[in-house]
Chains A and B, each alone.
Chain A
């Protein structure tokens, strides 16, 4: 299985390492060369430097052959556009995007790719925690 991870911050890098450990082929794209450092001393997978919306970079990183594409940059709108490009232009079988803003996360849910909203998850967990505390 081949994974394309867009964005190598805390989330993207940790996710890349986990998928690699699970036996996947992993290709990572980030705007900055330094982001490679997050993947550890020796990274056996692919790493490409470039902007997430550049067709040339995405193709070089293997978007056309990817089984999954995860958009995990720090920009919600970048992730939203990349996810749709992966799904609609390259027909990547599985696509997911990280969308921090719960409102945009809700709007883009059900548009053909998975939406993961860390903020939404935090809101739910903290609400549950607070309501749980009330019962004590």
Chain B
């Protein structure tokens, strides 16, 4: 795989090192001269000096081939957006991953179609939320190695999911319902399973997804 990384900060360098160790082809662009010289020592010809929002710099780094993935991880959100737009729309790069430095800028990335995005701040916040015990949701099991967890949620009268089939729920991609326990009897949750008040639902999800799961299952008249 050929990956173009723009931004030689801690994130960009770690990504580059890891991908190189996995025998991928990587080019790393950095615009700060002293920083670039440090990177050149380590990455030699794979480090390219220049402003990664300048077309000729991107072209020198091989964007016209085009790369399989462009990773925009500079410290400036507007730069990451522009790199993403140029990569996708001008050079036909299939996949762009962009870093959001200030979470307040996330709507701009969404609006301009730059996704997936990675925001360290949002991730830390989601993990803090994960550590705070959540009302209405019980953590049953944490699969730390797999980075997954199993939780139990009880559907209430007036919950948004009450009366809905599982296939109608707009669950996040990283969440699945496992089973529904009703009147002491458990059944595997399938698309046609209809949720009812009093149901105890088991779900498997990535840590940090609790709020979204609660929103999909529980929000509604009961909490209004």
Q: In the complex, which of the residues B56, B78, B90, B108 contacts A107, with contact meaning CB atoms closer than 8 Å?
A: B90
Chain B residues with CB below 8 A from A84, complex form: 111-112
- Whether the Cβ atoms of A81 and B54 lie closer than 8 Å is no
Q: In the complex, which of the residues A54, A85, A104 contacts B53, with contact meaning CB atoms closer than 8 Å?
A: A104
In the bound assembly, the distance between CA atoms of A53 and B105 in angstroms comes to 7
Least distance between A132 CB and chain B CB atoms (Å): 29
- Whether the Cβ atoms of A85 and B111 lie closer than 8 Å is yes
- Whether the Cβ atoms of A77 and B81 lie closer than 8 Å is yes
A85 in contact with B108 given A104-B55, A107-B55, A107-B90 (CB within 8 Å) = yes
B interface SS class: helix
A99-128 residues with Cβ-Cβ distance < 8 A to B are 101, 103-104, 107
When C-beta atoms are compared, the residue in chain B nearest to A76 turns out to be B53
Interface size on B, residues (CB 8 A): 19
Most chain A beta carbons < 10 A, residue from B77, B82, B111, B112? B82
Least distance between B114 CB and chain A CB atoms (Å): 10
Least distance between A66 CB and chain B CB atoms (Å): 17
Chain A residues with CB below 8 A from B129, complex form: none
In the bound assembly, the distance between CA atoms of A103 and B82 in angstroms comes to 13
In the bound assembly, the distance between CA atoms of A81 and B80 in angstroms comes to 10
A interface SS class: helix
- Whether the Cβ atoms of B55 and A55 lie closer than 8 Å is no
In the bound assembly, the distance between CA atoms of A104 and B90 in angstroms comes to 10
- Whether the Cβ atoms of A54 and B104 lie closer than 8 Å is yes
A75 at the interface (CB under 8 A from B): yes
Q: In the complex, which of the residues A54, A80, A88 contacts B111, with contact meaning CB atoms closer than 8 Å?
A: A88
A58-98 residues with Cβ-Cβ distance < 8 A to B are 75-78, 80-81, 84-85, 88-89
Least distance between A2 CB and chain B CB atoms (Å): 22
Q: Name B residues whose Cβ lies closer than 8 Å to a Cβ of A.
A: 53-56, 76-79, 81-82, 86, 89-90, 104-105, 107-108, 111-112
Given A53-B105, A107-B55, 13 further pairs, Cβ under 8 A:
A53-B78, A76-B53, A76-B82, A77-B82, A78-B78, A80-B81, A80-B82, A81-B78, A85-B111, A101-B53, A103-B56, A104-B54, A107-B89
Subset of 19 A-B contacts with CB under 8 Å: A53-B77, A53-B78, A53-B108, A54-B104, A75-B78, A77-B53, A77-B81, A77-B82, A80-B78, A80-B82, A81-B81, A81-B112, A84-B111, A101-B53, A101-B54, A103-B56, A104-B54, A107-B86, A107-B90
